[in-house]
Amino acid sequence: MPTTLTDLSRDPWLLPEVDALIGANMPAFMSWESPGNWRWHGMYDRYPAHQLCLVDGDGRLVAAANGLPVRWDGSASSLPSGSDDALVAGVDHAPPDRPDAVCMLSVSVDPDHRAEGHAERLLTEVRRRAATDAPRGVVIPVRPTRKPRYPLIPIGEYAAWRRPDGRCFDPWLRTHFDLGARQLGIAERSLVIRQPVSRWAEFLGHPLPGPGDHLLPGALAPLRVTEDGHGTYVEPNVWVHHPAGPDTR
Ligand SMILES: CC(C)(COP(=O)(O)OP(=O)(O)OC[C@H]1O[C@@H](n2cnc3c(N)ncnc32)[C@H](O)[C@@H]1OP(=O)(O)O)[C@@H](O)C(=O)NCCC(=O)NCCS
């Protein structure tokens, strides 16, 4: 299906559609209050040209990629600690005069249009733009799409899993590696959501009577309930780096 590339600086009316697409593609708790989520719309306001959209011939949104420019010296140790941290830095502070890199925080494709190359097209476009605006390329705290099936496996071990053919086990990480990205490290605390146990219990549809680690559908790791009556979800991601410019395969 032919699609047209645009962004929120050119077509700001797409903003509610972008939110709806991301919301429908993620478990509901992923948009609850967190330092990053509080600033999500601040990212749109400040960096509308970094909010890429693919629309079909009828103007419907098919895929979106959301990010922001960051300072980065090229080392794993100078990366933000994750998605929350990148949003706090990018929204609360003045934008870098000359950004080093672009940090992509979300790529979302309409479920009816998966595996059609839209995600790859968006990643390729961000890299192409980085060649002029962000010479160190594109960094992404990746949320591996099959990880919710293995919430008890540490993220670093999961990311290292390989198929018998030697390619990465996780399909979304595989897409990045196939495009020439490399793994930079693990963001153990990319996004942190702390809420009263009652809210988590309502979401789960069953009580959480005691402290401990509880399974949370759609999460990459267990929900930790503590004696203070709160539950905290700490989402781990995998940092990957795409060089600026064309595909390097
Ligand atoms: C992650 C996401 C953007 C990838 O988009 P996509 O169009 O599926 O991307 P790709 O075409 O590169 O597919 C990746 C792999 O998943 C497979 N795949 C995608 N959709 C599939 C489907 N419906 N059924 C089976 N396999 C599917 C593809 O075949 C590919 O595997 P391959 O490398 O063996 O060919 C998309 O799945 C999505 O929007 N997910 C929800 C939001 C999300 O988790 N985003 C990532 C974190 S920000």
CATH code where residue 104 lies: 3.40.630.30
Domain identity same for 226 and 128: no
Domain identity same for 14 and 99: yes
Residue nearest to atom 47 of ligand 1 (CA): 143
Distance 170 CA to ligand 1 centre (A): 10
Distance 149 CA to ligand 1 centre (A): 15
Domain identity same for 165 and 216: no
Domain identity same for 158 and 208: no
Print the domain residue range for 214.
193-233
User: How would you write the pLDDT of the chain (249 residues) with one tens digit per residue?
Assistant: 789 999 999 999 999 999 999 999 999 999 999 999 999 999 999 999 999 999 999 999 999 999 999 999 999 999 999 999 999 999 999 887 889 999 999 999 999 999 999 999 999 999 999 999 999 999 999 999 999 999 999 999 999 999 999 999 999 999 999 999 999 999 999 999 999 999 999 999 999 999 999 999 999 999 999 999 999 999 999 999 999 997 656
Q: Three-state DSSP class for 115?
A: coil
Query: CA 154, CA 72: separation in Å to the nearest integer?
Result: 26
Domain identity same for 70 and 152: yes
Residue 160 falls within a domain, yes or no?
A: yes
Query: CA 64, CA 125: separation in Å to the nearest integer?
Result: 12
Geometric angle at alpha carbon 106, from 205 and 240, rounded to 5°: 115
Distance 175 CA to ligand 1 centre (A): 8
Domain count, the chain: 2
Query: CA 186, CA 219: separation in Å to the nearest integer?
Result: 16
Residues 6+ apart with CB under 8 A from 49: 7, 8, 9
Residue nearest to atom 31 of ligand 1 (CA): 171
Query: Hey, which bits of 42-181 come out as E strands?
Result: 51-55, 61-70, 101-109, 138-142
Domain identity same for 170 and 220: no
Domain identity same for 217 and 109: no
Q: Give the residues surrounding ligand 1 with Cβ less than 6 Å away.
A: 25, 106-109, 114-115, 118-120, 143, 145, 171-172, 174-175
Distance 228 CA to ligand 1 centre (A): 38
Query: CA 246, CA 249: separation in Å to the nearest integer?
Result: 9
